[in-house]
Structure 1
């Protein structure tokens, strides 16, 4: 990933926050058939290992099971929004006209070594944890115990656990930092007025630190 210094983010806590807030990641692998991408919800264990451990599950019918080997290096990409930026939103344009459209975004790349685990107890634990996290905001949270025990066991037999110990973690938060705080505020405010609060808020917050 091309990573100019002014867009780079290396603080582990900040990157972990983005992952937990946007857990649907793109798992990039390279096996005998070439490059492949699987889109999966991940659970992050931030205090395991130096940079954390990612866990997910997938169907045993997924070719991934046979395409990757134990401890192959893989990449998981997480994104926390993106937005088109019009030059008309940048105050500096009025002074110089030296501005063009761009695209802002926040992403995290997590590299690591993959493990494929078939232990049902571990798979059940992960599924329960994912369910608890994502049902927490529901009025009446659903629990695995609500479904017939045999039915759940049958489904768990069809999936396997993916575990990735993160060995490299880097973020790119492209928010017009190279244009200065004034332009960041101008564009961030314009985005929020259009209802694009994710990147708009991020730009306004980042502008405070310039």
Structure 2
């Protein structure tokens, strides 16, 4: 990933927080059939030894499984808030006009060699953890035990499990760090008037980076 120094983010806690807050990520592989990409929800797991891995499942019929079984390096891209930035928000536009549009965004990229599993106990534990992470705090949280056991067992036959031990991780926080304070305040105000959660989230990141 293109990484100007001013936008680089290396702190594990910050990177991990984005991955947990935005678990739906793009899994990218390059196999004999060429590049392939799929969206999957991932769990970030800390191992007993203090390392981290990504855990997910995917449909058994998904042809990307062939690439994953080859154990070639995979890339997983997590995308956080993103927002278009118009030059009209910059104070410097009125001063000299030497400004152009851009996009602000935050992203994390993870690389590692995948491992596929068909173990029913592993799949049950992964599904339970993934469901709990999304359902906890809801007024009527759904659990796997709410569905008939036979139905769940049949569904599990159609999926395989995936672990990707994290070999490399990098983050990019492009949140107007390259603009002066007056321009940043203009972007914060502009985003504050825009609709959507991403605009509000990006304004907060510019105002108070992690």
TM-score, length-scaled by structure 1: 0.94
Q: Partners of 2:57 and 2:69 in 1: how far apart?
A: 16
Cα distance change, pair 75–48 in 1 and its aligned pair in 2 (3 A): farther
In the alignment, structure 1 residue 200 sits paired with structure 2 residue 203: yes
Aligned counterparts of 2:49 and 2:104: Cα–Cα separation in 1: 31
1:183 Cα deviation after fit = 1.4
Q: Does 1:137 align with 2:137?
A: yes
1:127 and 2:127 aligned: yes
SS class of match (1:179) = coil
Equivalent residue, structure 1, for 2:185: 185
Counterpart in the other structure of 1:99 = 99
Please give the alpha-carbon distance, in whole angstroms, between the structure 1 residues aligned to 2:95 and 2:51. Answer: 45
Alignment length, in residue pairs?
Answer: 207
Alignment of 1:44-193 (within 5 A): 44-47=44-47, 52-193=52-193
> Offset at 1:64?
1.4
Rate the CA distance shift 1:87–1:193 in 2: closer, same or farther, 3 A.
same
Runs of 4+ in 1 over 3 A off after TM superposition: 46-51
Tell me how far 1:49 sits from its aligned partner.
5.7
Tell me the distance in 2 between the aligned counterparts of 1:88 and 1:201: 19
Report the aligned-residue RMSD: 1.5
Q: Is the contact made by 1:58 and 1:161 (CA closer than 8 Å) also made in structure 2?
A: yes
- Relative distance call for 1:148 and 1:164 in structure 2 (3 A) is same
Shift of 1:47: 4.9
Unaligned runs of 5+ in 2: none
Q: Is the 8 A contact 1:27 1:38 kept in 2?
A: yes
Superposed CA deviations along residues 82-112 of structure 1, whole A, max 9, x for unmatched, are: 1110111111222121111111100000111
Match of 1:20 in 2: 20
Q: TM-score, normalized by length of structure 2?
A: 0.94
User: Per-residue displacement from partner, 1:20-41 (whole Å, max 9, x unpaired)?
Assistant: 0000000000111010001000
Give structure 1 stretches of 5+ with no counterpart. Answer: none
Matching residue of 1:11: 11
* Residues 115, 164 of structure 1: 8 Å contact kept: yes
Shift, 1:151, TM fit: 0.7
Task: Give the deviation of 1:69 after TM superposition.
Answer: 2.9
Please state whether the residue corresponding to 2:165 is helix, strand or coil. strand
